[in-house]
Amino acid sequence: MQFSLSKSLEVLERTPQVLFSMLNNLSSQWIEANEGENTWTPKEIVAHLIICEKTNWLTRAKIILSDSTDKILSPIDMMGHFDLAKNSSLQDLLKGFSRLRECSLDELKKLSSDESSLQKTAMHPKVGEVSLQQLIATWVTHDLSHITQISRVMARQQKEQVGPFEVFLKILNA
């Protein structure tokens, strides 16, 4: 698929509702489960998306689009979501994520109004030069990756119960 801001927005705008539909009002066994040591629960994943919404996507887009000569993207806090998840209800996380995402996308639409802005670049500390277009494509893929991760974590809670049908369920063995 060729990059398109409008097609990217189709996914980015829907992510909060997808998460709400998947997770709202589920029992704690679904939202507090993980896949073992050093893995995340669905609730922690939503908290991670909030941290990224606050510190990653729009923050980095603004750096890329700035007139600064020293455009370096800061690393993301990969631990901050644990405290956020621990100290918040899932409903509060889902509502907060939805509000943050709406604001982020409203601002993104204002910032990247023309094709040339999508080609502007900054330096990422690990991968080197990245464009706004690449950042937005990564944002979409990041959302889809975490939706998949939540589905996988939840599906694996049924691994023992599906019995011999496990051979048909790739999600349980991916």
How many C-beta neighbours within 10 Å does residue 86 have?
10
Q: How confident is the model at residue 60 (pLDDT cuts 50, 70, 90)?
A: very high
- The number of domains in the chain is 1
How many C-beta neighbours within 10 Å does residue 42 have?
25
Compute CA 120 distance to the chain's CA centroid, rounded to the nearest angstrom: 22
3-state DSSP percent of the chain in helix, strand and coil, to 5: 65, 5, 30
Return the amino acid letter for 44: E
Could you report the per-residue pLDDT of 112-161, keeping only the tens digit for each? 768 889 999 999 999 999 999 999 999 999 999 999 999 999 999 999 99
pTM summary value: 0.95
Taking alpha carbons only, the member of 10, 14, 8, 27 closest to residue 98 is 14
Taking alpha carbons only, the member of 17, 6, 34 closest to residue 143 is 17
At 129 the three-state DSSP class reads: strand
Structural domain including 30 reads 5-172
Could you report the per-residue pLDDT of 96-111, keeping only the tens digit for each? 999 999 999 999 998 8
CATH of the domain at 160: 1.20.120.450
